[in-house]
Structure 1
Amino acid sequence: MARVRMAGQGDAGTLTQMRCAFLEELGQALPDGFADHLRAWVEAAFADGRLLCWMAEQDGKILGCAAVNPYAHLPSAGYPAGVGWYLLNVYVKPAHRRGGVAGSLLTAIGSAAREQGIDMLSLHSTEPAWKMYERYGFRPSMDAMSMALATG
């Protein structure tokens, strides 16, 4: 069984590798230098609390990871404390999929969020993963929209 732990600065390289693998599986062509840029971002985000990450490991090998970006939200009925976590980069290495690794990560993150009084966990997902997220309490939201501002 995989053990889930919080990641730290020493895991920035592993998280970078897993994020790049995740993006490439989604069909993104990563430009030259992207991994170096990402690693610098991850290191800075770990340092200032913009990124929290959990790693699933077994026998000293990382099987998967999941991260959250904490965010402030104007308090409302759904956000009484005014704090949410955006879940991203839930990634399990292909050889370890369908073995409960993602579920262990989601359980650990849900527990941590409850302990810290987080109002909401939100995410974007590929359609094949919807049923898994629904098993852990996530529900579809039809009120979200986005506007891409980045060029290139």
Structure 2
Amino acid sequence: MSELIMRTARTDDIGQLAEMRYDSTIENHPELTITDEQQRDYTDEMHEFLEEAIGSEHWVVWLAEYGEEIVGHVYLEMVRKVPRPGRTTKPFIYMTNVYTRPQHRGLGIGSRLAQVVEQWARELDHDFIMVWPSGRGEEFYTKNGYSACSVPMELKL
């Protein structure tokens, strides 16, 4: 097998990234029934999202790759905070859509991605990384140095 490479996404990765997001959704929500039309609509929307996101200053997608195959990824949204008097304001990162293909799990790929993201965020002097893990993801994040923080609140619209 090829060497595992960690890198940021390029536009030629869009097809695999869209496929992986679809697979992740179906894996986590097996009760979903997706019609062909819904799948086409999703594919169009995801391609548009990724075309805008990749290379922008607001999103970074880190991925793990063996040869030509993307085996894991993490999406990061850069969030700029409102400045506050008397202190330097640093942006923070919202981490989402963390996924490793099932056949590559248990090999430390997710932890390697988490380490690369942490090092990269520290080098760019971000304030913190925030993630809302699914129930099964909490152990992974705790193992990788994350800790629970105050419960966020939301207003469903």
Question: What is aligned with 1:26?
Answer: 28
Q: Contact 1:52–1:67 (CA<8 Å) still a contact in 2?
A: yes
2 CA distance for matches of 1:116 and 1:74?
18
**Structure 1 counterpart of 2:22, which letter?**
C
Larger Rg computed on CA atoms: 2
- Answering whether residue 121 of structure 2 is matched by residue 121 of structure 1, we say no
Stretches of structure 2 lacking an aligned partner (at least 5 in a row): none
Deviation at 1:11, TM superposition (A): 1.4
Alignment CA distance shift 1:100-1:80 (3 Å) = farther
Establish whether residue 14 from structure 1 lines up as the match of residue 34 from structure 2: no
What displacement does 1:140 show?
A: 1.2
TM-score, normalization: structure 1? 0.86
- Computed over aligned residues only, the root mean square deviation of the Cα atoms, in angstroms, reads 1.9
Deviation at 1:130, TM superposition (A): 0.8
- Alignment coverage as a number of residue pairs: 147
Cα 1:29/1:48, change in 2 over 3 Å:
farther
Greater Cα shift, 41-50 or 107-116:
41-50
Q: For 1:50 and 1:80, how far apart are their aligned partners in 2?
A: 20
Aligned-partner Cα distance in 1 for 2:28–2:83: 34
Task: Indicate if the aligned counterparts of 1:55 and 1:105 stay in contact, CA closer than 8 A.
Answer: yes
Question: Are 1:85 and 2:93 counterparts?
Answer: yes
Instruction: In structure 2, give the amino acid aligned to 1:101.
Output: I
* Counterpart mapping for 1:54-133 below 5 A: 54-75=62-83, 80-133=88-141
Give the conservation status (yes or no) of the 8 Å contact 1:71–1:83.
yes
In the alignment, the residues of structure 2 paired with residue 104 and residue 85 of structure 1 have an alpha-carbon distance, to the nearest angstrom, of 18
Query: Are 1:48 and 2:48 an aligned pair?
Result: no
- Is the Cα contact below 8 Å between 1:80 and 1:119 reproduced in 2? no
Contact 1:74 1:82 (C-alpha < 8 Å) held by counterparts: no
SS in 2 for 1:52: strand
Aligned mates of 1:130, 1:107 — CA distance in 2: 16
SS in 2 for 1:48: coil
Runs of at least 5 residues in structure 1 that lack an aligned partner in the other structure: none
TM-score, length-normalised on structure 2? 0.84
In 1: Cα distance, 2:90 partner to 2:14 partner:
28
Residue 136 of structure 1: aligned partner: 144
Report the CA distance between 1:26 and its aligned residue.
Answer: 2.0
Whole-angstrom CA distance in 1 between matches of 2:49 and 2:16: 13
